[in-house]
A = this chain, B = another copy of it.
Amino acid sequence: MVQNTLKDTFKNSNYKLAGHGERNIHVLKEAFKSIDGDLESDNYGEGAVIQEFEEKMAATLGKEEAVFFPSGTMAQQIALRIWCDEKGLRKVAYHPLSHIEIHEEDGLKELHKIETVLLAEKNRVIELEDVLRIEEPIASILLELPQREIGGQLPSFETLEQISKHCQEHGIKLHLDGARLLEVLPYYQKSAAEVCALFDSVYISFYKGVGGIAGAVLAGDKEFIKHSKVWKRRYGGDLISLYPYILSADYYYRQRADKMELYYEAAKELAGFYNACHGISTLPLEPVSNMFHVHFHQAKELVEPILTEVQQQTGIGLTSYLKEIDENSCSFEVSLGDLYETVPRELLEKVFKQLDALMKQRFSSI
């Protein structure tokens, strides 16, 4: 008999606790269903389709202008390069687990020769003290809200205000990696514009909490956006047509921007279910956005059969993968979306009862 894998049992489950659903072609079809075919494509950054969405996002983020990018990687490298050029200094600071540092094949360094200062330890967010401790001159600081690689943690809003004030006083441009900006607004109880007001430039993504196909927006003042567009052309990001991403971003933004509070509440509840299980804890313990990480204090190869069994027997999908942290621990990421509220209450209780029982049975000595 072929052994079912964690991935298979997740894929074949009747209900999934996280996300908005599968990333398949329906996502595009659904977004374009009600769009008039006669609508003209954008054309190398010009035209109503792109300009109207950029204006809408600039207003939402409280910035003078905004520009649509195919990716956040491109948008953020460009933002930091512009701030470096403005100061005539190729040095920036960010968290050791920022996207730029670990997921971009060193694009910032290879393409721009920008040096980096890593702020804070890997397992916590950047605090004011980390910023005050920087000894060398830097052009810009990038803050990621929430800090994804550590489960989506956040500094307090007061800390953000203090860092912002310090940067302003010291001629350091503050850039927001707001890939999941909308997702943190319910925790801060602030509008997007209120958070962005603390930053000189902001990037947001449309395929995380929003659940679009791909794409990003970079926002800032007029001069900054003028330079961004030149760099976008240099990078080959100024496509003849970006509308497949723009129109789907707009569609899902309209569907989901107001549901972030719902996802946040769901995340807190779901984290509670995990934390009630033997040998499992979430990071953060109480989520501050729609996301968190689920940690097991056991080896991956011991945990994987348990999760597989639970998924197979209950038809409830918890995760498609497990990431080994070290030989005695593993984890997976959860981002709450539209699917959570579709799961029947009694099944939700059943799956965690079973998970807890299996964890206790296998690891009763802990």
A binding-site residues for B, Cβ under 8 Å: 22-29, 32, 35-41, 43, 69-75, 77, 104-107, 110-112, 207, 213-214, 230-231, 233-245, 247
Distance in angstroms from A331 CB to nearest chain B CB is 20
Interface centre among A207, A235, A242 (most CB of B within 10 A): A235
Residue in contact with A32 in the complex, picked from B25, B38, B71, CB distance below 8 Å: B25
Asked whether B236 lies within 8 Å of A237 as measured between CB atoms, the reply is yes
Asked whether A236 lies within 8 Å of B73 as measured between CB atoms, the reply is yes
Distance in angstroms from A118 CB to nearest chain B CB is 19
Residue in contact with A234 in the complex, picked from B26, B107, B234, CB distance below 8 Å: B107
| Known A-B contacts A71-B237, A74-B235, A235-B236; A28 and B32 likewise in contact (beta carbons under 8 Å) | yes
Interface centre among A43, A75, A77, A107 (most CB of B within 10 A): A107
Residue on B nearest A30 in the bound complex, by CB? B37
Residue on B nearest A248 in the bound complex, by CB? B244
6 closest Cβ pairs, A-B complex: A74-B236, A73-B236, A107-B234, A244-B244, A26-B37, A71-B236
Which B residues touch A25, using CB under 8 A?
32, 35-39, 41, 243, 247
Asked whether B107 lies within 8 Å of A236 as measured between CB atoms, the reply is yes
Would you mind naming 17 contact pairs between A and B with Cβ atoms under 8 Å apart?
A: A23-B40, A24-B38, A24-B39, A26-B37, A26-B38, A27-B41, A70-B236, A70-B237, A70-B239, A71-B238, A74-B236, A105-B234, A107-B233, A214-B240, A235-B236, A237-B237, A244-B244
Which B residues touch A112, using CB under 8 A?
111
Residue on B nearest A243 in the bound complex, by CB? B25
Distance in angstroms from A116 CB to nearest chain B CB is 15
Distance in angstroms from A36 CB to nearest chain B CB is 7
Asked whether B29 lies within 8 Å of A37 as measured between CB atoms, the reply is yes
Asked whether B70 lies within 8 Å of A41 as measured between CB atoms, the reply is no
Asked whether A77 lies within 8 Å of B207 as measured between CB atoms, the reply is no
Which B residues touch A242, using CB under 8 A?
214
Asked whether B111 lies within 8 Å of A234 as measured between CB atoms, the reply is yes
